[in-house]
Structure 1
Amino acid sequence: MQSTYVYKDFTVDVEAEPVDEALGGPVLITPSGYVAVVRIGQGECAEPIASLRFGENTDRPFGTLREALMHGYAAAQRIIDGFGTVNTAVPLDNRD
């Protein structure tokens, strides 16, 4: 399942992929969990500026589709909010 959101002039695509915990890959039966695949693009740009997977390297993937989508979108919001907080200050020389 995939959902698309707009947040602060960024397009956020979140896809919930089913996984089998034992095999670590896609399954055709009832999945043991879901991984959130998040792609962040700016404006109408077709190319994502960031593509991330959440829930894949943990002991427990997300339990439901909705949980994977919600957590993926929340993570994207935090990442986008962080884009504007990059410290570009230049240290001043210590002059005595």
Structure 2
Amino acid sequence: MEKTDSYKGFEITVKLESVRAVSSEFTVGPPVGYVAVVSVCAADPKRPIGVPIRLVTEGNRVFGTVEDAFTAGFSAAQRVIDDRTGP
């Protein structure tokens, strides 16, 4: 899953990677959570700002819902942009 949005002239892309449980029988179960991969690009000309950031929750746990992962990803990107551009 992927979402893109703009913020202060930058483009934010958040991609989610599913994390699946693996049983002792080597079968893959349903997703148990998500890792958010966040990229920030200057909009014009389009060029990346730094490297993509992989986000998990405190305690190195995956996000439990798609909404939580997307929200955390966009919030982290906004902080990066705000630090870069100032208030």
| TM-score relative to the length of structure 1 | 0.71
Query: Deviation above 3 Å: which 4+ runs of structure 1?
Result: 44-47, 56-59
CA RMSD of aligned residues (A): 2.4
Pairing 1:61–2:57 present: no
Question: Which protein shows a greater Rg?
Answer: 1
Where 2:60 maps in the other structure, the secondary structure is coil
Residues 48, 57 of structure 1: alpha-carbon distance in 2 compared, 3 angstrom cutoff: farther
Distance 1:78 1:20 in 2: 29
Name 1:9's counterpart in structure 2. 9
Pairing 1:39–2:39 present: yes
Return 5+ residue gaps in structure 1 as ranges: 23-27, 86-96
| TM-score relative to the length of structure 2 | 0.78
Return 5+ residue gaps in structure 2 as ranges: 23-27
Sequence identity (%): 38
Larger strand proportion of the pair: 2
Which amino acid in structure 2 is aligned with residue 68 of structure 1?
A: A
Name 1:20's counterpart in structure 2. 20
Distance 1:83 1:11 in 2: 14
Residues 74, 56 of structure 1: alpha-carbon distance in 2 compared, 3 angstrom cutoff: closer
Which amino acid in structure 1 is aligned with residue 54 of structure 2?
A: R
